[in-house]
Amino acid sequence: MNIAIIEDETNVQNIIKEYLSKYFINVSTNAVFEVYHSGEDFFKRATSEFDIILLDIQMPGINGIEIAHKIRTSDNQVIIIFITSLIQYALMGYKVQALDYIIKPISYKTLSFTLDRALHIIEKRPAEKSVLVNSNGTSVKVAVSEITYFEVQKHRFFMHTIEKTYNFAARSMKELEAIYADNNFTKCNNCYLVNLAHVKSIKKDIVTVGNEELVISRPRKKDFIAAVTNYIENT
């Protein structure tokens, strides 16, 4: 279990590390903690993939909300837990799919309750599903969680991921829709099958998926918005 602590106050860092050590001993789970003093420090030094990030909201430089938004551009799985002195900031957490917020001063009971929820989510996650695609004559394994959306144009299929786009062999969009239905993919129109985990925002008839804007067709708008809402409420 890899955990990042992004917190500028040394005394709070020490309390969190003490509580985390106690908690993971109690649940018999190995955990590694990495401490960062700011968002800038995190983005400069972090090299690990984290399971949980404990994130202070009020810090010099980049604040916690901005840090979380940046993290979400490349990682939709990591569990974010906000730490704050002001509850009104914590309520912004839903925009970055934060699991919870903890009000300072931190208590062990509150932190352990939130960690119980986090571990339950991690344990329920299915094994990562991957798909093989051909790239310049080489088969490349792509994690389904990295796929932002599928696209069909003039009978040619494309798989868009966080990093790049691949030509993709498929018989029909309907087939892809059936294959990836259990992975929270939903069509926003007949050309696009969207991974709901990568939806950032919806404004009028435009959905922002990753860093791209896609058109939502009028016939699909109601069902698509319902699918996005259901996904957010259940993750």
Across the range 197-213, mean pLDDT stands at: 93
| 162 token code pair | 């966080």
Note whether 102 and 57 are within 8 A (CB).
no
- As a whole number, the mean pLDDT across the chain is 90
Distance CA 168, CA 131 (A): 10
User: Which regions of the chain carry the CATH code 2.40.50.1020?
Assistant: 130-233
Higher-pLDDT residue of 93 and 82 is 82
Residue 90 has pLDDT above 60, yes or no: no
pLDDT of residue 97: 85
Pick the CATH number of 130-233 from 1.20.210.10, 1.10.10.10, 3.30.365.10, 2.40.50.1020: 2.40.50.1020
Across the range 52-79, mean pLDDT stands at: 90
Residue 91 has pLDDT above 70, yes or no: no
Give the model's confidence band at 94: pLDDT under 50 very low, under 70 low, under 90 confident, else very high.
low
pTM score, two decimals?
A: 0.58
User: Which regions of the chain carry the CATH code 3.40.50.2300?
Assistant: 2-124
Note whether 81 and 7 are within 8 A (CB).
no
Give the CA count within 13 Å in the CB-facing half-sphere of 149.
24
Note whether 57 and 65 are within 8 A (CB).
yes
The yes or no reply on domain 2-124 and CATH 3.20.20.60 is no
pLDDT of residue 196: 95
Question: What digits encode the pLDDT tens for the residues 26-41?
Answer: 999 999 999 999 999 9
Distance CA 70, CA 127 (A): 25
Give the model's confidence band at 137: pLDDT under 50 very low, under 70 low, under 90 confident, else very high.
low
